[in-house]
């Protein structure tokens, strides 16, 4: 897939920090645990640390090693919940190449590297490519228009009270309205979550002839599992697809394997109840790019809410 973000950096460690910041912009709801999965310790295995990221508490515990981390206020990574994460500063050439290559799976590329000037603080900047627009985080809370609806309902209830004077009936109406309000808010957030996850998941492609999940697909499935586990009434069907390359029977089996891989990950790795997710293989019968049946975007999985 074409790159979405390009990082321009001075000094290797600042460019590495720019890569992680670009990832946070692309996935604004990522937590520290999500960052650790997206940028695992294997990128830089040697050291006394057990993660490439530290909370402020963990950072302050070991004063002697503070110089090894991006601890300055303008260097810390800001998370959606208001907390800050501190990223490892040591990125020699071989480890820097690891994170640069790793970032490609998230559609993040690095511009021609500019060496920092000795004595000057390095930096980085980001450029959005190919029409990419970063997602806007969904803020928690009740939208203003819902408050307006609630205010209208309250006025209506007061009017009913003065007209009929039946307090019992008014209380019962209030109970119904309160339940309805909660359902509206929950459904609104649920629809927004599903739409964002579906867009990212459907964009995750498979290698030709393979049914192995990519790291980007696993990350989106991690978010999807949270939505499923937080909404008891929904069930999903994962649908696997292939391009038109090769034998139709092979493509059918491959599409089933791709869909099953996603379901197995949700059930075995994320604890989703197996009765709430099913899968189906559709082979090459529903091409995403009909003008180019062999195109890579036809090799994909998608999901639909069936209940």
| 79-88, 149-158, 204-213: the lowest-pLDDT one | 204-213
What pLDDT is attached to residue 99?
A: 94
The CATH homologous superfamily to which domain 203-305 belongs is OmpA-like domain (3.30.1330.60)
What pLDDT is attached to residue 117?
A: 54
User: pTM above the 0.75 mark?
Assistant: no
pLDDT exceeds cutoff 60 at 190 = no
In angstroms, rounded to a whole number, what is the distance separating the alpha carbons of residues 91 and 9? 13
- The tokens describing 105, both together, are 């799976």
Higher pLDDT among residues 100 and 262, named by residue: 100
Question: Facing residues of 125 across strands?
Answer: 8
pLDDT exceeds cutoff 50 at 157 = yes
> C-alpha distances in angstroms, 275 versus 39, 235, 255, 256, 272?
32, 8, 21, 18, 9
What pLDDT is attached to residue 234?
A: 80
| 76-80, 143-147, 207-211, 259-263: the lowest-pLDDT one | 143-147
Higher pLDDT among residues 159 and 70, named by residue: 70
pLDDT exceeds cutoff 70 at 258 = yes
pLDDT exceeds cutoff 90 at 104 = yes
The four Cα atoms 197, 199, 201, 204 give a dihedral, to 10 degrees, of -150
Where along the chain do its domains lie?
A: 5-128, 144-186, 203-305
Higher pLDDT among residues 142 and 33, named by residue: 33
What pLDDT is attached to residue 222?
A: 80
What angle is formed at CA 13 by the lines to CA 12 and CA 15, rounded to 5 degrees?
65
What pLDDT is attached to residue 179?
A: 35
Task: Give the side-chain half-sphere CA count within 13 A for 220.
Answer: 24
Once rounded to an integer, what is the mean pLDDT over residues 112-124? 64
| 20-29, 37-46, 252-261, 291-300: the lowest-pLDDT one | 291-300
Provide the residue count of the chain. Answer: 307
In angstroms, rounded to a whole number, what is the distance separating the alpha carbons of residues 114 and 205? 32
pLDDT exceeds cutoff 60 at 12 = yes
- The tokens describing 45, both together, are 């295995």
Quickly state the pLDDT bin for 145 (edges 50, 70, 90).
Answer: low
What pLDDT is attached to residue 178?
A: 38
Quickly state the pLDDT bin for 185 (edges 50, 70, 90).
Answer: very low
What pLDDT is attached to residue 183?
A: 36
| 72-86, 161-175, 226-240: the lowest-pLDDT one | 161-175
The four Cα atoms 60, 61, 66, 69 give a dihedral, to 10 degrees, of -80
Percentage of the chain with pLDDT > 70? 79
Once rounded to an integer, what is the mean pLDDT over residues 40-50? 82
Task: Determine contact, residues 138/192, Cβ cutoff 8 Å.
Answer: yes
């Amino acid at each position: 897939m074409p790159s979405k973000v390009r990082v321009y950096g001075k000094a290797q460690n600042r460019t590495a920090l720019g890569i992680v910041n670009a990832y946070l912009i692309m996935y604004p709801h990522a937590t520290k645990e999500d960052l650790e999965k997206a940028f695992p310790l294997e990128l830089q295995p040697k050291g006394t640390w057990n993660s490439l990221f530290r909370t402020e508490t963990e950072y302050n515990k070991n004063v002697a090693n503070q110089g090894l981390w991006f601890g300055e206020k303008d260097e810390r990574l800001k998370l959606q919940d208001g907390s800050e994460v501190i990223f490892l500063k040591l990125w020699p050439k071989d480890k820097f190449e690891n994170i640069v290559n790793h970032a490609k799976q998230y559609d993040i590329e690095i511009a021609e590297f500019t060496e920092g000037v000795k004595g000057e603080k390095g930096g980085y900047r980001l450029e959005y490519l190919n029409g990419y627009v970063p997602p806007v985080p969904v803020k928690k809370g009740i939208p203003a228009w819902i408050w307006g609806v609630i205010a209208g309902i309250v006025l209506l209830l007061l009017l009913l009270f003065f007209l009929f004077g039946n307090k019992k009936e008014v209380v019962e109406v209030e109970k119904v309205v309160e339940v309805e309000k909660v359902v509206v808010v929950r459904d609104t957030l649920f629809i927004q979550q599903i739409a964002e996850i579906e867009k990212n998941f459907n964009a995750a492609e498979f290698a030709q002839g393979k049914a192995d999940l990519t790291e980007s697909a696993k990350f989106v499935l991690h978010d999807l599992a949270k939505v499923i586990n937080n909404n008891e009434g929904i069930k999903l069907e994962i649908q696997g697809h292939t391009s038109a390359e090769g034998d139709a029977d092979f493509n059918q089996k491959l599409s089933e394997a791709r869909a099953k891989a996603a379901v197995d990950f949700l059930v075995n790795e994320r604890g989703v109840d197996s009765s709430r997710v099913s899968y189906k293989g559709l082979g090459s019968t529903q091409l995403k790019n009909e003008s180019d049946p062999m195109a890579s975007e036809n090799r994909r999985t998608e999901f639909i809410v069936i209940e």
